[in-house]
Amino acid sequence: MENNEAPSPVQMFQTLTAYQDTGALKAALDLDLFTAIGEKGATAAELATRCEAAERGIRILSDYLTVLGFLEKKADRYHLTRDSATFLARNSPAYAGGAAEFLLGDHLTQAFANVAAAVRKGGTVLANGGSMAPEHPMWLSFARGMSWMMMPGAQALAEIAALDPTRATKVLDISASHGIWGLSFAQHNPRTRVVALDWAPVLQIAWENAQRMRLTARFSMIEGSAFEVDFGRDYDVILLPNFLHHFDPPACVHLLRKCHAALRENGRVAIVEFVPNPDRVSPPDAATFSLVMLVSTERGDAYTFAEFEQMLRDAGFTSIEQHSLPPGISTAIIAEKA
């Protein structure tokens, strides 16, 4: 025994009720409570008016959020913390509450309602292969709500995999989603054109982001499945951001070979992934991602660097290297066409 304290059921209890924390934060976003609190703070009575809710309900929810650390309570006034003001108030430029639409969408909540069934089967029990169903609406939620999480990594990747500025270059962004990964390359390189590939409804959001970033002149799109469409050819870089984890290694190798064929000589693939250490239980964010894939896809997983190395070699790549991307959750794996 490493310590002499009595065994404790506290963590079991906290984990069995953790879903209640999720429910409380979701409610605050649904009610736009953080925006209503604003810079000056507010009482439950004031918030009840602003959120069109019962004062008693607001008081109890706000107390709960104070316990969780999302609010501070002084006398009977609730105030935003710095993190809440930055990420949870809708008028903040860094507002990230849109993530709730994806993270709490039916697809994921249904998948996590019966994890045991997926463990028994070894893959999702959702209809049509879960999140891999063609044009699954969850990817609209993802593109709308999750792009903010990708921005720091996308900016870093465009520098890590820098393109030759002295000539015209071309980037293919596979499973482009919001388009931020590819658009960051176009932003960094005035002579780079970007081709975004995804389901048609999702590309609408990438197009809007291209408009917002004033990059439509160097932005084009391919609609459909990466396994089926023609990629075109002579790309300098092909991006695979958060895509390979949905598939088993043979499917990944198949796709990497298709990328290999579409690259110019010495062209590179840049994979962005949650990459666990060889022990598969660290770091936490990458290691826990495997379960998301188990319950929501048929054969997906979070692969280690050694597994990606093997897949890339099998597909004909060389000079394989990895770079941690900010804010420290994702890893870029870059490899060259041999």
Stretch 61-80 residues interacting with its own copies (CB under 8 A): 61, 63-64, 66-70, 73
If the CB atoms of residues 53 and 231 are measured against its own copies, the closer one turns out to be 53
Q: How far is CA 164 from CA 154, 189, 247, 260, 272, in A?
A: 18, 8, 32, 19, 21
Of the residues 280, 319, 321, 338, which one makes contact with its own copies according to CB under 8 A: 280
Q: In the chain, which ranges are E strands?
A: 42-43, 71-74, 77-80, 169-174, 192-198, 219-223, 235-241, 263-273, 317-324, 331-337
Q: From residue 82, give the alpha-carbon distance in Å to each of 44, 92, 201, 205.
A: 20, 11, 35, 30
Distance in angstroms between the alpha carbons of the first and the last residue of the chain: 53
8 binds its own copies per the rule CB under 8 A: yes
Rounded Cα gap, residues 203 and 135, in angstroms: 11
Shortest gap between Cβ of 161 and its own copies (angstroms)? 25
Residue 55 in the binding site for its own copies (CB under 8 A): yes
* Residue 264 DSSP SS3: strand
**Residue 282 binds its own copies (CB under 8 A):** yes
Least distance between its own copies and beta carbon 332 (Å)? 20
Tell the smallest beta-carbon distance from residue 63 to its own copies (Å). Answer: 5
Question: Taking CB under 8 A as the rule, does residue 4 contact its own copies?
Answer: no
Cα angle at 42 between 51 and 83, to 5 degrees?
Answer: 90
Residues 121-180 that bind its own copies (CB under 8 A): 121-123, 149
- Could you say whether residue 100 binds its own copies (CB under 8 A)? yes
Side-chain half-sphere of 91: how many Cα atoms within 13 Å? 7
Choices 20-28, 199-207, 220-228, 232-240; region in contact with its own copies by CB under 8 A? 20-28
17 or 166: CB nearest its own copies: 17
Shorter beta-carbon distance to its own copies: residue 145 or 182: 145
Q: Which of residues 195-254 bind its own copies (CB under 8 A)?
A: none
